[in-house]
Structure 1
Amino acid sequence: MHVTFKQLEAFYVSVTHASFSAAATKLHATQSAMSKRIGELEAALGVQLVHRMPRGLVPTQAGNRLLGLAEEAIRLRARIAAEVGRSSEIKGTYRVGVTELIALTWLTKLLRELKGRYPALQLEPVVDAGMNLFEDLEANKIDLVVLPGTFWGDAYKAVEVGRVEDLWMASPHLALPDRPLKPEEFADYPVLEQSVGSAKNTFYGAWRREHGFKFGKVFATNSLTVLRALTIEGLGISQLALDYFAADIEHGLLRVVKSDPMPPPLVYSAVYRNDAFSPELDVVAEACRLVCDFRRVQHDLSSSLGGDAVPHAHSAVDAGRPRSGDF
Structure 2
Amino acid sequence: MTFKQLETIFWVVQLGGFAHAANKMHTTQSAVSKRVQELEALFETPLFDRSLRSARLTEKGEEMFLLAKRLLEQRDAAVEQFQRPEVMERHVRIGVTELTAMTWLPRLVGAIQAKYPRVIIEPYVEVSVMLRDKLLADEIDLMIVPDVFNEQRFLSKRVGVVENVWMCKPGLVGQPHRLRMHELAAHRLLTQDGRSGTGQLYNRWFRSIGVNHENTLFSNSVVAIIGLTVSGMGISYLPKKCLAPMVDSGALQELTVIPALPLATYAAIWKSDRKSTLISSIATLAQEKCDFRRMFQTG
Superposition TM-score, scaled by structure 2 size: 0.72
Letter in 2 for 1:180: L
Is 1:258 the equivalent of 2:242?
A: no
- 92 and 80 in structure 1: CA distance in 2 versus 1, 3 angstrom threshold: closer
1:179 matched residue in structure 2 = 178
1:320 is matched with which residue?
Answer: none
1:197 aligns with 2:195: yes
Amino acid at match of 2:177: D
Deviates more, 1:102-111 or 1:83-92: 83-92
When the two chains are superposed, the root-mean-square deviation of aligned CA atoms in Å is: 4.5
Matched residue type, 2:127: A
Confirm whether residue 142 of structure 1 aligns to residue 163 of structure 2.
no
- Conservation of the 8 A alpha-carbon contact between 1:74 and 1:277: no
Aligned pair in 2 of structure 1 residues 178, 299: CA closer, same or farther (>3 Å)? same
Deviation at 1:151, TM superposition (A): 3.8
Q: How far apart, CA to CA, are the structure 2 residues paired with 1:216 and 1:175?
A: 22
- Aligned twin of 1:234: 232
Indicate which of 291, 294, 297 corresponds to 1:296.
Answer: 294
Q: Distance in 1 between matches of 2:176 and 2:86?
A: 59
| Higher share of residues assigned helix | 1
Question: What corresponds to 1:270 in structure 2?
Answer: 268
- Map 1:94-243 → 2, pairs under 5 A: 94-173=92-171, 174-175=173-174, 178-182=177-181, 184-243=182-241
Q: CA deviation at 1:88?
A: 2.9
Evaluate the alpha carbon distance shift between residue 83 and residue 246 of structure 1 in structure 2; reply closer, same or farther with a 3 A threshold: farther
Q: What letter is aligned with 2:174?
A: A
One-letter identity of the residue aligned with 1:237: I
Deviations 1:196-246, CA, capped at 9 Å, x for gaps = 521111122322211112213111223212211221222211111112212
CA–CA distance in structure 1, aligned partners of residues 152 and 230 of structure 2 = 41
Contact between 2:178 and 2:255, CA under 8 Å: does it hold in 1? no
Deviation at 1:152, TM superposition (A): 3.5
CA contact (8 A) 2:146 2:266 kept: yes
State how far apart, in whole Å, the 2-side matches of 1:299 and 1:94 are: 21
Given residue 254 of structure 2, which amino acid in structure 1 is its aligned partner? R
Q: SS of the residue aligned with 1:270?
A: strand
Cα contact 1:193–1:239 (8 A) shared by 2: yes
Q: Which runs of 5+ in 2 are unaligned?
A: 8-20, 26-56, 58-70
1:126 maps to a residue whose letter is Y
Query: CA separation in 1, counterparts of 2:296 and 2:158?
Result: 26
Q: Does structure 1 retain, via aligned residues, the 8 Å contact 2:103–2:297?
A: no
Residue type matched to 2:272 in 1? N
**Structure with more relative contact order (C-alpha pairs < 8 Å, separation 6 or more):** 2
Q: Which amino acid aligns with 1:144?
A: L
Measured after TM superposition, the shift of residue 136 of structure 1 is 1.4
User: Structure 1 stretch 243-252 or stretch 277-286: which is displaced more?
Assistant: 243-252
Question: For 1:234, what is the secondary structure of its paired residue?
Answer: coil
| Amino-acid identity (%) | 32
- The one-letter code of the counterpart of 2:280 is D
Given the superposition, is the C-alpha separation of residues 176 and 273 from structure 1 closer, same or farther in structure 2, using an over 3 Å criterion? farther
Q: How many residues align?
A: 292
Q: Distance in 2 between matches of 1:299 and 1:130?
A: 22
SS in 2 for 1:247: helix
- How far is 1:137 from its partner? 1.4
CA distance in 2, matches of 1:245, 1:123: 28
Residue 241 to residue 297, structure 1, CA distance change in 2 (3 Å): closer
**TM-score (ref. length: structure 1):** 0.66
Cα contact 1:186–1:216 (8 A) shared by 2:
no
- Mapped to 1, the partners of 2:296 and 2:3 lie a distance apart of 50
Farther off after superposition, 195-204 or 269-278: 195-204
CA distance in 2, matches of 1:229, 1:240: 11
Residue 255 of structure 1 aligns with an amino acid whose one-letter code is: E
